[in-house]
């Protein structure tokens, strides 16, 4: 889903590329992977309407996460989705750092054991990856499948967490 004009935007550089963070009323609504060059991130990338404290906190948390020193984010989020999607995204936050779960396991955790495909669709529409760690969801046979940011980013995130435990 593309960034809408009603969001305030902050660009954050990371080891997996520039991240576009989208805010409404100083609550994080979206985080999108971007193919922008790192040079796109400057002091001018914070919308002046944003609460600098919120942006700075998330940027610090992301830096700590990518250093392997943060396992739980505290940034306040406001994702938009259906009740089922919100339930799935909440369940993603319950997967321990450095561990994985299958789509079927997430469906069971969300109270609908036959909804593995629907979990996959909810993951596909996850508006705040990394904070809602859909990269920790794998196929029932252990295969790394689908990730909106690309499998190379999924592998990077999983390796980061595995090596930081």
Provide the annotated active-site residues.
134
Alpha carbons 126 and 133: distance in angstroms, whole number: 9
Alpha carbons 66 and 63: distance in angstroms, whole number: 5
Alpha carbons 7 and 111: distance in angstroms, whole number: 32
Q: At what angle do helices 83-92 and 116-124 cross, to 10 degrees?
A: 80
Q: How far does the chain reach from its first CA to its final CA, in angstroms?
A: 33
How wide is the angle at C-alpha 51 spanned by C-alphas 55 and 74, nearest 5°?
Answer: 45
41 Cβ contact partners less than 8 Å away, ≥ 6 residues apart? 11, 12, 13, 18
**CA nearest 47: which of 13, 11, 77?**
11
């Amino acid at each position: 889903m593309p960034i809408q004009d009603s969001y305030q935007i902050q660009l954050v550089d990371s080891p997996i590329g520039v991240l576009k963070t989208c805010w409404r009323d100083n609550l994080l609504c979206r985080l999108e992977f971007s193919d922008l060059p790192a040079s796109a991130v400057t002091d001018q990338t914070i919308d002046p309407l944003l609460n600098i404290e919120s942006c700075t906190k998330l940027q610090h948390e992301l830096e700590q996460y990518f250093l392997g020193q943060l396992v739980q984010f505290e940034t306040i989020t406001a994702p938009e989705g259906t009740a089922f999607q919100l339930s799935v995204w909440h369940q993603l936050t319950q997967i321990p750092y450095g561990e994985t779960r299958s789509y079927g396991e997430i469906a069971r955790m969300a109270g609908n054991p036959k909804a593995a495909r629907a979990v996959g669709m909810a993951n596909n529409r996850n508006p705040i990856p990394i904070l809602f760690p859909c990269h920790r969801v794998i196929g029932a046979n252990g295969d790394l499948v689908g990730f909106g940011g690309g499998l190379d980013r999924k592998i990077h995130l999983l390796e980061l967490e595995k090596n930081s435990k």
